[in-house]
Structure 1
Amino acid sequence: MKLAFSTNAYTNDTLPEAVRRIAAHGYEGVELLGDTPHAYFPEFGADDAAALADALTETDLAVSNINANTATGYYDDAPPSSFFEPSVINPDPDLRAWRVEYIKRAIDLATSTGAPAVCLATGRPLPGTLPDEAYQLLRDSLHDILDYAEPRGVDVGIEFEPELLIECTDEVLTLIDDVGRDNLGVNLDIGHAAVYGEDLRESIEQSAGHITGVHLEDIAGGIRGKHYHLVPGDGDLDFDVVFDALDSIGYDGFVTLELYTYPDRPDEAAARAFEALAGYF
C-alpha cells in the first residue's frame, strides 16, 4: 500500500502549490480535486495542465486518483447542499449529459497524469424522481463513462455515501455486478462505511477485487458517528482493523487521506495524519 493526500484540503492554494506542499510532508501520492479551485474542467486549460505537470515532475509524486465527486464550479452562486449536482442521475438530459462529459474530462486528466482511477458519487434522487428511475439513469450514465474510460486504461470508482442513491457497500457491489464492466469498482471511503454503521472489516473484505482506491479519515463516535472528517487519532475508528483487513485482501493500491475539513490548516492536518499512519506503511 502507498499513502497519498488529497488536494481538497488545500483549497486556499493553487493546484501546483497544493501538490508541492503535500510532497513536503513525505507522501508518495496525491489525489487531485476535480473541481474548483483546482481542476474545474470547463476552465482547466493547457497552461493549467502544464503547471500541474511541472509540479508533479518536481515532486516525483504519483497521482492516486482524480476526485470528480463534486462540480460546485458549475454554479456562480452555489445553493446549499449543491455538492453533487448536476449529477449523473439528474432527470434533465442536458444536465446529466453535462455531468457525464465532466467525468470524461476527469478521465482525460487521469490519463495525462498516470492516475489509475477517477471517483464519482451518484448524487441524490431529486424530488419527483423515484429511486428506481434514478438507478436506471445511473446505469445508462455509467455505461457511457465506462466506454470512454476503458480504452484509456482508467478505472471508475463509485464512492458511496449515506443519503446518496448508492450509500453503502452492499449497494455499490450490487451496482458493480449489475453493470458488469471490469473497469467499474468502488472508491472505498472508510469513514462513509463507518457513518452508515457498517463493520469496517466486513466492508473491506466484501469489496476485495473491486477497490479502485481508498479514502481515509477518522470519525468521532466511530460506527454511526458524525460524518465529519478528522485527522486519524482525533476520532474513534480502529485503524488496526482497517489496515489488517486491507492487508488480508492483498490490497496494494493507494490509501488517500481526505481531510477537506482543514482548509485553514492543511499542513498541520497533513503532518499529523502522516505521523499517525506512517507505522502502517
Structure 2
Amino acid sequence: MTIRLGYGTNGLTDLRLDDALALLAGLGYDGVGLTLDHMHLDPLAPDLAARTRRVAQRLEQLGLGVTVETGARYVLDPRRKHGPSLLDPDPEARAARTRLLVRAVEVAADLGAHAVHCFSGITPPHTTPDTAWQRLTDALAPVLVAADRTGVPLAIEPEPGHLLADLSDFHHLRLLSGDPEPLGLTLDIGHCQCLEPSSPADCVRDAAPWLRHVQIEDMRRGIHEHLPFGDGEIDFPPVLDALDTLGDTGYSGLTVVELPRHSHAGPELARSSLDFLRSRIPSRLPKGATSCR
C-alpha cells in the first residue's frame, strides 16, 4: 500500500493542535493537513519560528508527515471569509495574501512539509477573466520564488466557484506562468465528483504528473458540500486503486481527509474515516508475486 492517509486540522478546530496531532497518531494516520489558523499554529502571532520548531519536534515524535494548508476562513480579515484573495482589486490586499503564502512556504520548510496548498479565490465583480488571471499569476510569482528557494512545492487547488475551478484551469495557469517547476496541484477527490467531466479515478490518473497534495471526502454531483464517507456518491475503490498507484510515479505526499464543517464530530469522524478508507484500499501483491488460490 502506498497511500499515506492524513486528516485535516480544519476538521479538528475544537481541539488544541497538540491534542489533534496526538489523536491522529494514536488512530494510526500517517500525517496531517495542517491549516495555519488562529487556533493551530497562527501564522500572524508572535514567536512563529519558535512555535514552528515545537510543532516540528512534535510531528517527528509522533511520526506524522505534514502538508501545510492555507484555507483558513478569517486569518487575514475577520469580516471577509477567505479575504483578501489573490484576485482582490486592491493591490495591497493581494499583497497581504501573497505575504501569507510566502510565510506558509517558510513554515512548511521548517516543518519538513511535503507541499503548501492554496487556491485562487473567487473572481471579484466587474473583473474580466484576463484581468483575474493576470492578478493571479502576478500574485503567485513571489510565492513560487519562495517555493523554489525552499524546495517546498506550491500545490494550488481547483475549487468550485473560483477562478481556478477545475483541472483545465490548472493547466491554463501552468501555461500562463511558464510551467514553473515549483507549481503543482492539489487534487480534491470530492471536487472531481462535483464538477469534472471525468470520473474521480480518471482525474487522479490524468493529474498524476503534477500532483503534490491530495484531499479526499465524499460528495454529490453538482453540489459542493464536503460529506463524510458513505454520505455521497463517490465509488471509492477505483479512486483508491488509482491513488495507490501514484507511488509508482514518485508521489510521496499525503491523501488528507477534508471535512472542514464537521469539527463538532472531528474525533469520531477521524476514526470512522480511517476505517472506511482502509477497508476499501485494494491489496496489491509485491512485484513478481503471484496469488495463491
* TM-score, length of structure 2 as denominator length: 0.87
Find the partner of 1:241 among 234, 238, 241: 238
Q: Residue in 1 aligned with 2:186?
A: 187
Moved more, 195-204 or 115-124: 195-204
CA drift at 1:118: 0.4
Contact in 2 for aligned 1:229/1:259 (Cα 8 Å): yes
CA drift at 1:119: 0.7
Q: Residue in 1 aligned with 2:213?
A: 213
Contact in 2 for aligned 1:66/1:110 (Cα 8 Å): yes
Secondary structure, aligned partner of 2:44: helix
Contact in 1 for aligned 2:114/2:253 (Cα 8 Å): no
Contact in 2 for aligned 1:87/1:99 (Cα 8 Å): yes
CA drift at 1:198: 3.1
The letter of the residue matching 2:44 is: P
CA drift at 1:48: 2.7
Q: Residue in 2 aligned with 1:230?
A: 227
Q: Aligned equivalents of 2:98 and 2:75: distance in 1? A: 15
Q: Residue in 1 aligned with 2:45?
A: 43
- 1:56 matched to 2:59? The reply is yes
Q: Aligned equivalents of 1:205 and 1:108: distance in 2? A: 30
Q: Residue in 2 aligned with 1:171?
A: 169
CA drift at 1:71: 5.0
Q: How does 1:151-170 map to 2 (within 5 A)?
A: 151-170=149-168
Name the larger-Rg structure. 2
The letter of the residue matching 2:216 is: L
CA drift at 1:114: 0.6
The letter of the residue matching 1:48 is: R
CA drift at 1:176: 1.6
CA drift at 1:252: 4.3
CA drift at 1:53: 2.8
Q: Aligned equivalents of 2:113 and 2:225: distance in 1? A: 27
Secondary structure, aligned partner of 1:160: coil
Q: Aligned equivalents of 1:173 and 1:244: distance in 2? A: 24
CA drift at 1:162: 1.1
Contact in 1 for aligned 2:228/2:269 (Cα 8 Å): yes
The letter of the residue matching 2:268 is: E
CA drift at 1:74: 2.0
Q: Residue in 1 aligned with 2:203?
A: 203
Q: How does 1:56-205 map to 2 (within 5 A)?
A: 56-63=59-66, 65-76=67-78, 78-79=79-80, 82=81, 84-179=82-177, 180-199=179-198, 200-205=200-205
Q: Aligned equivalents of 1:67 and 1:277: distance in 2? A: 21
Secondary structure, aligned partner of 2:20: helix
Q: Aligned equivalents of 1:29 and 1:256: distance in 2? A: 8
Secondary structure, aligned partner of 2:6: strand
The letter of the residue matching 1:232 is: F
Contact in 2 for aligned 1:8/1:33 (Cα 8 Å): yes
CA drift at 1:248: 4.7
Secondary structure, aligned partner of 1:74: coil
Contact in 2 for aligned 1:217/1:259 (Cα 8 Å): yes
Deviations 1:143-173 (A, max 9, x none): 2110111020010011111110000111112
Q: Aligned equivalents of 2:195 and 2:72: distance in 1? A: 20
Moved over 3 A (4+): 247-252
Contact in 1 for aligned 2:68/2:115 (Cα 8 Å): yes
Contact in 1 for aligned 2:53/2:110 (Cα 8 Å): no
CA drift at 1:100: 0.4
Contact in 1 for aligned 2:56/2:112 (Cα 8 Å): no
Q: Aligned equivalents of 1:15 and 1:131: distance in 2? A: 39
Q: Aligned equivalents of 2:22 and 2:205: distance in 1? A: 34
CA drift at 1:14: 2.1
Give unmatched runs, 5+ long, in structure 1: none
Query: What RMSD, in angstroms, separates the aligned Cα atoms of the two structures?
Result: 1.8
